[in-house]
Amino acid sequence: MRSDDFKQGSLFISDNGASKGVSRVLLTEQQVNARVQELGQTLTRDYSNREVVFLAVLKGALYFLTDLIRNVDLPLTVGVTSIERSLVDGEYNISSTIRDHSMIKGKHVVIVEDIVDTGHTIAALIKSVEEQSPTSIKVCTLLDKVSKREVEVPVDYLGFEIPPLFVVGYGLDYEEYYRNLPFIGVIEDASWDPVSELRAKSQKSNS
């Protein structure tokens, strides 16, 4: 569905009986696409005459990555990485798995993310990429909820700073849904707290 066709009530999924609907459009596909094009041009300028590895965080950043690199005019390669969230002795722990180690060593790496919220995910990622001895690491994120930050992280390339809302579309999901929307929409009263989710899961498996 295009943002021009969006009407309140036209997009919702049922989550445990509660319907979770997109209440409004925050950024249209035209706004997103124009900004992605600008970011691609800036990266092309900043990395001229250098080779870059674009490392995307599964799954949300894939959508942004594929559009972004088509606006980058450089010799480049693409990698993916995933995040594992767990409770270790009751403490929230994020780790990441780099699948292709050889492609990072000695390279200029741009980490591509869909959204930075508290900053914990990016902080964990930077740490794991650093362990692979790249020449440089920069962070490129489409969205940033600056006001929610808990740990300081560098954001070198930013699409849009947004208020502390729960957003979906262009790769971002609510319970895995809505990734396919070409625009960024808002879900009112939705929140996602990975720590509580993990606690609930571990309580369930212990009982």
The residues annotated as belonging to the active site are 117
Which one of ligand IMP, Mg ion, none is in contact with 172 (Cβ closer than 5 to 8 A by kind)?
A: ligand IMP
Applying CB under 6 A, among 27, 39, 69, 115 the residue interacting with ligand IMP is 115
Q: Which helix (H) or strand (E) holds 115?
A: strand 108-116
Q: How many residues bind ligand IMP (CB under 6 A)?
A: 15
Q: How do the residues of the chain divide into helix, strand and coil, expressed in percent and rounded to 5?
A: 30, 35, 35
60 binds ligand IMP (CB under 6 A): yes
Closest CA relative to residue 165, chosen from 196, 189, 141, 194: 189
116 binds ligand IMP (CB under 6 A): yes
Q: Between residues 49 and 88, which has the closer beta carbon with respect to ligand IMP?
A: 88
60 binds Mg ion (CB under 5 A): yes
Q: Which residue is nearest to Mg ion (CB)?
A: 60
CA-to-CA distance for 196 and 35, rounded, in angstroms? 34
Secondary structure of residue 193 in the 3-state scheme: coil
Question: Which stretch in 1-9, 24-32, 62-70, 107-115 sits in contact with ligand IMP by CB under 6 A?
Answer: 107-115
Place of tokens 């943002």: 3
Burial class of residue 131 (count of CB atoms within 10 Å of its CB; 0-12, 13-18, 19+) = exposed
Q: For residues 130-159, which are near Mg ion according to CB under 5 A? A: none
Residues near ligand IMP (CB under 6 A) are: 60, 113-121, 166-168, 172, 192
